[in-house]
Amino acid sequence: MKRPLLILACVLLVVIGIAGCVAGNRQLESLSVSPASSSANGSAVQFTATGHWSLTPTTVMPQAATWGACTDDGVPTSNVTVSTTGLATCASGATGTYMIFAWDPDYGYTGPECLAITACGGGCGRVSATSQLTCP
């Protein structure tokens, strides 16, 4: 009699454990970048990515991200560089407004089957966000 109860208890523990793992699977739903826009005015500007998750903690700041810059029309640029921590710097002589982007490399597709990745880090299901930087 004890053996069937022990087997039943083990089975229940396994089922509860599996259900807990499935229910506790956090997903990154979106990113935001702050500040939303900034002017360089001769110095570097620090941008920060915030992750918005499906489960607690629902907001993570700063969220680890891959950073880059492009022109307003989505063309890659070397007029602005962005460090791995989101510090954006205008190149000497750069003028105009540029998009600063952040995306999480753990979400979305990056393989050769994905041809829709834009210069601003979006496309192919990537979780990404943008902000604006104006260079003097």
What CATH number is given to the structural domain containing 131? 2.60.40.10
pTM over 0.85: no
- Res 12: pLDDT: 39
Strand stretches in the chain, DSSP E:
28-34, 37-39, 45-46, 48-53, 59-60, 66-71, 80-82, 87-90, 96-103, 128-135
43-91 pLDDT, tens per residue?
999 999 999 999 999 999 999 999 999 998 888 899 999 999 999 999 9
Band of residue 5 on the pLDDT scale cut at 50, 70, 90: very low
Q: Say how many domains are in the chain.
A: 1
Q: What percent of the chain has pLDDT over 90?
A: 55
Whether residue 1 lies inside any domain: the answer is: no
Residue 64: domain span = 27-135
Q: How many CA atoms lie within 13 A of 74 on its CB side?
A: 7
Instruction: Summarize the confidence of residues 84-107 as an average pLDDT.
Output: 93
Within a domain: 101: yes
Tell me the C-alpha distance between 37 and 130, whole Å.
Answer: 9
Confidence category of residue 17, pLDDT binned at 50, 70, 90: very low
Within a domain: residue 4? no
Q: Which residue has the higher pLDDT, 109 or 134?
A: 134
